[in-house]
A and B are shown apart, each in its own frame.
Chain A
Amino acid sequence: GQQLNQSPQSMFIQEGEDVSMNCTSSSIFNTWLWYKQDPGEGPVLLIALYKAGELTSNGRLTAQFGITRKDSFLNISASIPSDVGIYFCAGQLRGSSNTGKLIFGQGTTLQVKP
Chain B
Amino acid sequence: NAGVTQTPKFQVLKTGQSMTLQCAQDMNHNSMYWYRQDPGMGLRLIYYSASEGTTDKGEVPNGYNVSRLNKREFSLRLESAAPSQTSVYFCASSEDRVTKAFFGQGTRLTVV
* Residues of chain A in range 84-114 having any CB-CB distance to chain B below 8 Å: 88, 90, 92, 97-107
Known: A43-B90, A105-B42. A100 touches B103 (CB 8 A): no
Chain A residues closer than 8 Å to B61, beta-carbon distance = none
The complex places the Cα of A105 from the Cα of B31 at a distance, in Å, of 21
A31 touches B96 (CB 8 A): no
Name A's interface SS. Answer: loop
- Chain B residue nearest in CB terms to A42: B103
Number of chain A interface residues as a range = 20 to 34
* Residues of chain A in range 51-99 having any CB-CB distance to chain B below 8 Å: 88, 90, 92, 97-99
The complex places the Cα of A41 from the Cα of B105 at a distance, in Å, of 5
Q: How many residues of B contact A (CB 8 A)?
A: 30
Min distance, Cβ A104 to any Cβ of chain B, angstroms: 4
The complex places the Cα of A101 from the Cα of B59 at a distance, in Å, of 11
A106 touches B40 (CB 8 A): yes
Min distance, Cβ A65 to any Cβ of chain B, angstroms: 13
The complex places the Cα of A113 from the Cα of B50 at a distance, in Å, of 42
Most buried by A among B4, B42, B95, B100: B42
A45 touches B101 (CB 8 A): yes
Please provide the 8 A-B residue pairs with the shortest distance between their CB atoms, ordered closest to farther: A42-B103, A104-B42, A104-B43, A100-B31, A100-B94, A106-B42, A99-B50, A100-B99
State the A residues within 8 Å of B (CB): 1, 4, 6, 9, 31, 33, 35, 40-45, 48, 88, 90, 92, 97-107
